[in-house]
Structure formats: structure tokens, C-alpha cells
Structure 1
Amino acid sequence: MHFLPHLIIWYFFFLAWRRGGNRYGVIECDSLAREGLDRTARHMVIPYVPMLIPPRKWKGYERGGHLFLPSYVMRTHGARQQQDAMKSVPRKQMEKVFEVASFFH
């Protein structure tokens, strides 16, 4: 006997219209998923919330990204050797890396 998995569509996308006739996309979460998120994510602290203004362009290992929270161009998970290696590379050589990081941030 074969059992089919119970499939749940967690997110819905639809178009809505403003009074002026402009349309915009809406992503809505399924009510079951929303209840689960309410139970689990309610107690989480999320410091890096979406920004209302663009982040600063990267100019160094620790210079760029979020305006007030510490941001690093590469995640090192505290590995001092990686941090030192990243900081020791000449700035001119890292310009392309900073440019790409600024593009995706």
C-alpha cells in the first residue's frame, strides 16, 4: 500500500490593486504555518531586521553593511585565523570582493 505525503502549501502569492489602479504582489503565509511560527518564533530575538534605508557600502572587513549593528564582510564564526587572513589582504586586492558584497547586501 502506498501512502502519499500530506502536502501543505505554506505560502501563497497573489496580486492586489490599490485604489489608484497600481498593483502589487502579496506573499501570505498559510494559517497553520503562521500558528507554528507564532509559537516558536515569538521568543526569538532578530537583530538584523529589514532596513528602511540602504546599507552602507563595504569598504573593509568591519566597515559596511548595517548602520548600527556589527557587520562583517565574511562570516568566520569567531575563527581568529580567518579574520586575520581577511584583514591582512591589501585593500586594493579586496575591492572587487567589497563591490560584490555591497551588491548582494
Structure 2
Amino acid sequence: MAVIAVWKCDRDGSMFDDKKDAEAHDKMLELAANITYVIEKNIQSVSEEDCEAIGLLLAKHSDVLAKACKGKPELLLEEVNATENKETNNTDNNVTPMTQTG
């Protein structure tokens, strides 16, 4: 019987085959938690759920966000468009016809 090493992120329970990926995911979640905290402390009208969603969104796209802050704001829109296109293409590929025509 083979032994397979896996790394578990204690923040959300995600499992990874690679330690580097697990550490990157954990750092991303830590950044999301910190962003969430800053939003909650500075904008009282945003719900906790929305703060968490915003924090996670910004943390997941931190590389593009950093580049945008350094003078390339158009990268944010390119990222959004790329994500929308990817989601559209994925849903089209997952459709299985119930009957064949022809």
C-alpha cells in the first residue's frame, strides 16, 4: 500500500498534493482575512458576508491588483473579462445533449 503525502490548510480544510501550493493557498486566505478585517473596520454598512466575499476576491487576484495599483489599471478589467469568458466557455462545454438529432 502506497503512502501519499497531502497538506491540509487549517483555515478552510483544503487538501493539496504539493506543499508549495498549500502554503500559497494559506497565504491567500490570510490576506483575504486581513482585507476583510480592514473593510469591516472602515465601512460599517457592508455585511460580514459581503466583506468576506470582497476580501477573498481581492486576495485571489492580488497579483493583478498590485500591478493595477502600480499604474496599469486596465489589467483589472482584462482579468474580469478573461474570467467571464472562461466561465462562459466552461458552461458551454459541460452541456450534454439529451437526444441526438439527425
Superposition TM-score tier, normalisation by shorter sequence: under 0.3
Structure with greater strand percent: 1
Question: When the two structures are superposed, what TM-score results if normalisation uses the length of structure 2?
Answer: 0.23
Task: Choose between structure 1 and 2 for higher RCO, CA contacts under 8 A separated by at least 6 residues.
Answer: 1
Report which of the two structures shows the higher radius of gyration computed on alpha carbons: 1
